[in-house]
């Protein structure tokens, strides 16, 4: 049995449509041209503040701390309720149930703030599956620093552990934490798979229980 730690956005759920909607409302409020869905997806990964910084850079706004603060506040004010367009990737609930049935302990490690994390997990009926849930504001450090991942493993009881994610941030985090990394290739990754450190890849969640069993054998 192992502690299996999951990233959230782009790994278990496709939340980009909701994030896109919340971000564009905040940008429009400040008279800033809105993002395309692809641009919003590319901004995800390092937490809300960096999401806004990336969005501002895409619109040529440079470094304006006051504008950044207003957009971030507007974004965060909408983020917690931004759940209605978000869906789990196909096969996620079934794979999580199979892994729990095999005796594995499931934890979450995301750079998403705690309030929207809890809201979307509850909305999707996934909130009872993970213990602990380590979010972007749970610790002073965020991924790719290894501390949040280490905290998730410890909170899940320690022992053998595997990290499951989709992005460059996740690959870097797993490397820093010296944990095996299973890369979901259908998420928000921008870098070619071959250029990211990983232990195994998968493109369907139905394959995940078998991959975990293979790594632990």
Q: How far, in Å, CA of 18 to CA of 83, rounded? A: 6
What is the reported pTM?
0.93
- 66-70: long-range contacts, CB 8 A cutoff, minimum separation 24: 67/30, 70/29, 70/30
Pick the CATH number of 3-14+86-216 from 3.40.50.1000, 3.40.1160.10, 3.30.1300.30, 1.10.390.10: 3.40.50.1000
Identical fold, 3-14+86-216 and 16-79: no
Specify the residue for token string 């995940």.
Answer: 208
Q: Is 7 a catalytic residue?
A: yes
Which residues have CB under 8 Å from 128's CB, separation 6+? none
Question: CB of 6 within 8 A of CB of 121?
Answer: no
pLDDT tens for 125-150 read 999 999 999 999 999 999 999 999 99
Q: How far, in Å, CA of 158 to CA of 111, rounded? A: 21
Sequence spans of domains, the chain: 3-14+86-216, 16-79
User: pLDDT tens digits, the chain, 217 residues: what are they?
Assistant: 899 999 999 999 999 999 999 999 999 999 999 999 999 999 987 888 999 999 999 999 988 999 999 999 999 999 889 999 999 999 999 999 999 999 999 999 999 999 999 999 999 999 999 999 999 999 999 999 999 999 999 999 999 999 999 999 999 999 999 999 999 999 999 999 999 999 999 999 999 999 999 999 9
Question: CB of 76 within 8 A of CB of 47?
Answer: no
Q: Which of 7, 9, 14, 170 is catalytic?
A: 7
CATH class of 16-79: mainly alpha
């Amino acid at each position: 049995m192992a502690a299996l730690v999951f990233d959230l956005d782009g790994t278990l759920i496709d939340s980009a449509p909701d994030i896109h909607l919340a971000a564009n409302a905040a940008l429009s409020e400040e008279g800033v041209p809105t993002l395309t869905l692809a641009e919003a997806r590319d901004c995800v990964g390092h937490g809300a503040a960096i999401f806004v910084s990336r969005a501002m850079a895409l619109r040529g706004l440079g470094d304006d701390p006051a504008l950044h603060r207003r957009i971030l506040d507007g974004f965060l004010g909408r983020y917690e309720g931004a759940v209605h367009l978000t869906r789990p990737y196909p096969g996620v609930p079934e794979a999580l149930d199979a892994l729990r049935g095999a005796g594995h302990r499931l934890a979450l490690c995301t750079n998403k703030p705690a309030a929207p994390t809890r809201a979307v997990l509850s909305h999707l009926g996934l909130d009872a599956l993970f213990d602990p849930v380590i979010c972007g504001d749970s610790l002073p450090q965020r991924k790719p620093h290894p501390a949040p991942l280490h905290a998730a493993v410890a909170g899940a009881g320690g022992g053998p552990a595997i990290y499951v994610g989709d992005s460059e941030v996740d690959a870097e985090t797993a490397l820093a934490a010296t944990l095996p990394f299973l890369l979901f290739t259908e998420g928000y990754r921008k870098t070619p798979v071959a250029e990211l450190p990983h232990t195994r890849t998968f493109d369907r969640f139905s394959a995940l229980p078998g991959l975990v069993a293979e790594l632990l054998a």
